[in-house]
Structures are given as C-alpha cells and as structure tokens.
Chain A
Amino acid sequence: MTALSGWGRWPRHETEVLSPETPARAAAIQATADGVIARGNGRAYGDAAVGERITVSTRGLDRMRSFDPATGRLTAEGGVLLADVIAAFLPRGFFPPVVPGTKFVSLGGMIASDVHGKNHHRAGGFGDHVEEMLIALPGGDVVACSPERNADLFDATVGGMGLTGTILEATFRLMPVQTGWLRRRTIVADDLDDAIDALAASARSTYSVAWIDCLARGEALGRSLIYTAEHATEDDLDEADGTIAPFPDLPKRGFAVPFDAPGGMINRASVGAFNAVYYRRGAARAGPPELVGWDPFFFPLDSIGDWNRIYGSRGFLQHQCVIPAATAHAALGTILERISSGGRPSFLAVLKQLGPGRGPLSFPMEGFTLALDMPVTDDVEGLLGDVDRVVREAGGRIYLAKDARQSRETFEAGYPRLDAFRDVRRALDPDGRIASRLSRRLGL
C-alpha cells in the first residue's frame, strides 16, 4: 500500500499501485480488479487518479505504435507523455493540435480530462482530435471506439476521468508547423471588463490567454496581461533574425524545487510582489509581436521541476471554473473580489475563453474559465465554498481534473449531461468496479 495524491499533494489516500508493462497486462488487471482506476503521470491535481483500492499506473504503456508523416496521424499507447510526442515530432515539423499547461501529462490523462489549451475557442479540446481509442473495459474486454463506432463509449471516455476503463491506445492527428516558435503579442487590460473584452476580441487568434493580477483591487480589479499568439513561419524567423534555428533545442530539465517550502513562503506579500513585478515586466512589452519558444509559451511552469512543492507540505488546491459568457462579467468580478479581499494569495490566476465541450463530462462550455491556485490552509474551504456558490448561481461548472473538494450539489448543478454519462457507466460497469476517490466523493 502507498499513500498517493494528485499533483496538488492533497488529499492523500492509501492505495495499492500496480504497474503493468504491456497493454495485455493492463487489460488483464481490469478483468479482475475492483475499486480500480488508471493513473497516467499523476498531473490531475485532486483525487481523480487515486483508486479506491487499486491504482494502475500506465507509465509502462509508453510505446508509440505508428506514425504517418503524410497525414500526421499518430497512434500511441496511453502512457506516452505529451513531452515525448513533442520531442519526437516537433523536429519533424509537427505539433499536437491541443496542449494543456504542462507537457508532463500522459495521452490517456489528456483524453480522460478532455484537456483544453489556449486555442480551445478555435480548436476544441484534445478529445475533439482523437480519431480512435482502444479501451480495456471492466471485465477485461478490449474494445475499439471512435466518433462513429461505439460512439457512446467514445464520448463518455472523452472527459470521463478514466471511469469507462483503461485507455490502452489512442490515435490522433498532429498538425504541421514550420517552426517551434510563436509570434506572441501582449495586450494590457486595466481591469476585468477590459480583459474579458480583449479575450473575446482576440477570438480569431490561434492562441489567447490572460494572466490576472489577483491582488489588484478596486478600480484595478482584474487587471491583466493578455497574450495572443500564432505559430511562427519560416518567413517570420527570417524577418526577425536570419540566424534563429527553426526548431529550438529541447529544454534540459532545469531548476527543481528540492524540498517543501516553509508554509509561510507563499503569503500575501510575496505573491503581491511577484505579481507586481510580472505585471510591470509584461506591460513594458506591450506592442509589436515578439518571438517566443514553444516551451516557455505553452509550459512556463515545466521549467521548474516539482513546482508543486513551493506551497509547502500541506499541499495546495487548484480551483478552475468556467462561467457562461452571459454571466461571466458579473460572476468573475465577484469571485476576484472575494479572492483579493480575503488576503488569500493566488500565485496563478489564468483567464481563458472556451468553446463548447464534447463528452457528457467534458469540462469546457462556451464561456470564460478562471484558474486559481492557493495553499491548503484551515480557512481555504470557506473561501472556495463561497466561490463555488457564485459558480453555481452563474450556471458554471468546476473542472474535475483540478478538483479535490467540490460538493455533489455543485457538481450535479454544473454537469447537466451527467445522466447520459451515468447510463453509459451503468451499462459498462454494473458492479461499479472502476472507482476513484473522485468518483466515490461525487457519486459518479
């Protein structure tokens, strides 16, 4: 038995961990196991990838199966990391169609969470790009599914948090790119309304995201830097500086946080100082586009190994909600007000525009998503409980891949297609043998 948590390091639960070396072994485990869930690279923040009794690590399922350079179509096992996909194919002129905020996620995890990127408003979620999957169902049968074949299973698996079975293999299409660089533009938004309007106005940009200074208050509440970006072409590089290599070297793992920071390191003063510096630095850059490498653009936190340790040994919570466009201005304003007045520092606050989601449990819906993270403290639940209420009343929902604590009431209000998901799950797994701590907590 091992005490296992998600990336937020809270909560921890005892579980048996199995590490099958082959897809056949992973399927054999499904044949007999009870209270079991698959786990990729453990980057879901909360309790989604901790089994009620057994957790099956898919890291041994790390082989790619085939790649067709004519179409960009890749088939790979579910434990392959996104970082490995980029390492293998970016130098050959291909990039994944959707990437989340870290490259250290498994393909199975990306599908199970139907992850979104800074291009969701145009490209949809990762699940929208999956053409086929091989799933080991409870009972051990291995079934292929696609949007056309076994479509109910396919849709329930996209965003289904691993609750339909273990994703053994997936096929999706990479997109051609000319370089590993992005042309990034920085826009300064003086307050929240400004930020939301700027994001909506940049809907034609391939990528867009806003970084919010969470500690700005009053008139400046919600002041932000908005980044928009396009993949740079070879011509863009030539214009900027003829000596730039089109595919920058893959980054070496840099600085890692080697120990748990003392609990008090993240406090209002240190985060406020960080945010002020970040805002000033970014604001100075506003203006013409600049070239940024793919790694710092998409995965800024990946350069700090084990960054989840800066919150100290009690761990931290990430809270990510999405609010429909119609109620977003008011609800996000209320949430930011509550966060900034609570003296509760949020190291990271990111605002993005989302389009519609695919699966019945997929997180995205048309609207705006806000991600916050904060250390676990005695009074954090009171604060987040207030935030949840605002989300519920605004018709929004909370991202299961980040969640460790929302109530059933909030969850059920946020996912109106929940019954469709439960129907599929009941048919596949009448005895409820697939069970994570999250599924038990939320009655999934």
Chain B
Amino acid sequence: MTDQKSLLVIGGTSDIGRAAALRYARAGRRILLASRDPDAARRNADDIAARAGVQVDVFRLDLLEIDSFEAFTDGLPLLPDTVLCVAGELGEQQRAQSETAHAVRIIRSNFEGPALVLGVFAERFAARGAGTLIGVSSVAGDRGRGSNYVYGAAKAGFSAFLSGLRNRLAAQGVRVVTVKPGFVRTRMTAGMKLPPLLTAEPEEVGEAIFAADEARKGDVVYVRRVWRSVMGVIGLIPEPVFKRLRL
C-alpha cells in the first residue's frame, strides 16, 4: 500500500465526472475512471494524466449490467478511498410516458445501477472501516414535477438510498455524501436556456465534491446554496396548489 489516495469515478465520460477527477488529480490522487464507453473515457484519462501528472486508468462498467458489479469491484487494482458516482441519463419525459422501455431505462440508469454499485462498495468499505461514497443525485428528486418526474423519481430513489446508507454506516467509519448540483452547463443540458444564477459550471461541481470530501463534513451538498432555498420553498407549496402549477 502506498500513501497515495485514490478516486474511482463511475461515469468517467460525463462533464462533471471529468471535472471532479481533474480536481482530485491536481491534489495528487490516483484516478480510476469507469465507463460503458472505455474509448471515450480513455480520452479523458489521457487529458487528466497530462495535466496533473498522475496515473489514470480506465475500466469498463455498464450500470445496466447489475450482475457485473461484484466482478468489476474485484477486478480493480485497489479498493479506492473515494467512489464517486456521476452516471445517469436525463432521458425524455414525454417518451417515457408512452414508451415503458424508455421509462425503465431512465429508472435503471439513474436509480437501480448507481444505488446498487455504491451498495457493493459500501459493503467493502464497511469491512475496511473507511471510505467515502459520493452520489450525484438531483434537485429534480426533491419533488416530482410534471416536466421530468420519471427522472425525478429515479433520483428521489437514489437520494433515499444514499440517505439510508449514510444512516446505517455513519458509526462504521464510512461517509456517504449526496450531491445535488442544480443546473449545470454540460452536454446533457446543451441547448437549454438556463438561469445564470442557478447554473453551475462543471468545474464548480467538481470543486464542491472535492471540498466536501476533503473537509470530511457535509452530508447533502447543494453546489449553489441558493438551490437549498429554492427547493425549500418548492417543498413548502401545499400539494393542492402545487398540482396546478406548470413546472
């Protein structure tokens, strides 16, 4: 064992995953990227290695193949200090309403896969008595809205899973952090009109994730604090009123 700490990013081709990995790499961490598209992840890995001068390795992982999670974890060269899961896909709400297969895909790739893969690492971390699990969830999971409730429900499930895991493992030296980035300027949101004050850059999210890990405190992190208030207010709106809003 060396003293060099390590980070595994699940979702190694996402803009947030790339930014977070680069931030950890700048602090000298060894980086492992997992992605269902290893070639695209390799491009990010080379980028991070060139910029930060650390070792970056790529592993194939498809979050829809839940039977592969144990073997994936066994196949890593080490058990990382931190596992960050940023994988997920927005999907299309309207299509999910009429096409069950699409809804299933959204639910599986945003809830089932991320939750269960972190669950596998949770057991290993508990056995080791140390480790940090960070799940990138979404403010969309704080309250279901007509415009994206399939995605929102999956993220709500993921948030609840992380909350339960945190509750269970707090006494065993395992940290569980839920990150809710709000709007982020990424490929996933390219072309959308986003309010500037509520919209973070991927680098900001990466910094917030790294800072929460380093500070060893913070359970639920809203990247831009204003989101905590926004979602607080949205949570307070009585359901009879809420159901009539176009959100």
Instruction: Spell out A's residues near B (CB within 8 Å).
Output: 21-22, 63-67, 69, 74-76, 84, 88, 92
Is B123 on the interface with A (CB-CB < 8 A)? Answer: no
Chain A residues within 8 Å of B187, by CB: 21
- In the A-B complex, the 4 residue pairs with the closest CB atoms: A64-B50, A63-B47, A88-B51, A67-B50
Determine the chain A residues whose CB is within 8 A of the CB of B138 once the complex forms.
none
Bound form: Cα–Cα A89–B52 in Å? 8
Least CB separation from A63: chain B residue? B47
Q: Are B53 and A74 in contact (CB under 8 A)?
A: no
Interface residues of B in 49-82 (CB under 8 A from A): 49-53
Contact of A92 among B43, B49, B53 (CB under 8 A): B53
Contact at B50–A76, with CB atoms within 8 Å?
yes
- Would you call B46 an interface residue if the criterion is a C-beta within 8 Å of the partner chain's C-beta atoms? yes
Interface residues of B in 187-218 (CB under 8 A from A): 187
Is B132 part of the binding interface, using a Cβ–Cβ cutoff of 8 Å?
Answer: no
On chain A, the residues within 8 Å of B47 by CB distance are 63-65
Query: Complex: how many Å from CA A74 to CA B47?
Result: 11
Q: What range describes how many residues of B lie at the interface?
A: 10 to 19
Are B53's CB and A65's CB within 8 A? no
Q: How distant is A293 from chain B, measured CB to nearest CB, in Å?
A: 20
User: Does B14 sit at the interface, judged by CB under 8 A?
Assistant: no
User: Please, how many angstroms separate the alpha-carbon atoms of A69 and B187 in the complex?
Assistant: 32
Q: Does B44 contact A (CB under 8 A)?
A: yes
Interface centre among B40, B46, B51, B52 (most CB of A within 10 A): B51
Taking CB atoms, residues of chain A closer than 8 Å to B40 are 22
Closest chain-A Cβ to B211's Cβ sits at a distance in Å of: 16
Chain B residues within an 8 Å CB radius of A74:
50
CB–CB A63/B46 < 8 A: yes
Which residues from chain B contact A92 at a C-beta distance below 8 Å?
53
Q: A22-B43, A63-B44, A65-B50 are in contact. List 14 more A-B contacts (CB 8 A).
A: A22-B40, A63-B46, A63-B47, A64-B47, A64-B51, A65-B46, A65-B47, A66-B46, A66-B49, A67-B53, A69-B53, A88-B50, A88-B51, A88-B52
Shortest Cβ gap from B197 to chain A (Å): 14
> What residues of B have a CB within 8 angstroms of the CB of A88 in the complex?
50-52
Q: What separation, in Å, do the CA atoms of A75 and B51 have in the docked complex?
A: 11
Q: Which residues of A contact B53 (CB under 8 A)?
A: 67, 69, 92
Tell me the bound Cα distance from A434 to B204 in angstroms. Answer: 38
Least CB distance, B39 to chain A, in whole angstroms: 10
Q: Which residue of A is nearest B51, CB measured?
A: A88
**Chain B minimum-CB-distance residue to A65:** B46
Q: Within the assembled complex, what's the spacing in Å between the Cα atoms of A65 and B49? A: 8
Interface string of B212-242 (1 = CB under 8 A from A): 0000000000000000000000000000000
Complex Cα gap A75–B47 (Å): 10
A292 vs B206: C-alpha distance in the bound complex, in angstroms?
31
CA distance A74 to B53 in the complex (A): 12
A69 to B47, CA, bound (A): 15
Complexed CA–CA distance, A331 and B53 (Å)? 50
Nearest-neighbour CB distance to chain A for B187, whole angstroms, equals: 7
The answer on a CB contact under 8 Å between B43 and A63 is yes
Contacting residues, chain A, for B49 (C-beta < 8 A): 66
Complex Cα distance, B40 from A278, in Å, reads 50
CA distance A76 to B46 in the complex (A): 10
Q: A66 to chain B: which residues have CB within 8 Å?
A: 46, 49-50
Q: How far is the CB of A125 from chain B (nearest CB, A)?
A: 24
Which residue on B lies nearest to A21, using beta carbons? B187
- Chain A nearest CB, measured from B6 CB (Å): 21
Residue from the set B43, B44, B50 with the largest chain A CB neighbour count within 10 Å: B50
Closest A residue by C-beta to B46:
A65
Q: Which of B148-205 contact A (CB under 8 A)?
A: 187
Q: B residues within 8 A CB of A76? A: 50
Instruction: Report the nearest B residue to A74, measured CB to CB.
Output: B50
Q: Which residue on A lies nearest to B22, using beta carbons?
A: A88
Query: A18 CB to closest chain B CB, in angstroms?
Result: 13
In the bound complex, how far is the Cα of B25 from the Cα of A67, in angstroms? 15
CA distance A65 to B44 in the complex (A): 9
For A63, list chain B residues within 8 Å (CB). 43-44, 46-47
Nearest-CB residue, chain B, relative to A92: B53
- B44 → chain A, closest Cβ, in Å? 7
Looking at A65, A69, A74, which has the most chain B CB atoms within 10 Å of its CB? Answer: A65
B48–chain A nearest beta-carbon distance, Å: 9
A63–B21 alpha-carbon span in the complex (Å):
14
Q: How far is the CA of A22 from the CA of B52 in the complex (A)?
A: 21
Min CB gap A27→B, angstroms: 15
Provide 29 A-B residue pairs closer than 8 Å at the C-beta atoms, listed in order of the A residue.
A21-B187, A22-B40, A22-B43, A63-B43, A63-B44, A63-B46, A63-B47, A64-B46, A64-B47, A64-B50, A64-B51, A65-B46, A65-B47, A65-B50, A66-B46, A66-B49, A66-B50, A67-B50, A67-B51, A67-B53, A69-B53, A74-B50, A75-B50, A76-B50, A84-B51, A88-B50, A88-B51, A88-B52, A92-B53
Residues of B within 8 A of A67 (CB): 50-51, 53
Taking the closest CB of chain A, its distance from the CB of B14, in whole angstroms, is: 12
Which residues of A have CB within 8 Å of B50?
Answer: 64-67, 74-76, 88
Closest CB-CB distance, A200 to chain B, in whole Å? 40
CA distance A231 to B73 in the complex (A): 49
* CB of A405, distance to nearest CB on chain B (Å): 34
Which residues of chain B have C-beta atoms less than 8 A from A22's C-beta? 40, 43
Shortest distance in angstroms between B25's beta carbon and chain A's nearest beta carbon?
10
Bound-state Cα–Cα, A98 to B198, Å? 38
Nearest chain A CB to B156 CB, angstrom units? 30
Q: What is the distance, in angstroms, from B4's C-beta to the closest C-beta of chain A? A: 17
CA distance A341 to B187 in the complex (A): 52
Measured CA separation A424–B40 after assembly (Å): 34
A22 to B46, CA, bound (A): 14
- B18 to chain A minimum Cβ distance, whole angstroms, is 9
Q: State in angstroms the CA–CA spacing of A75 and B49 once bound together.
A: 12
Complex Cα spacing A64 to B47, Å: 4
A176 to B40, CA, bound (A): 32
Assembly CA distance A311 to B117 (angstroms): 55
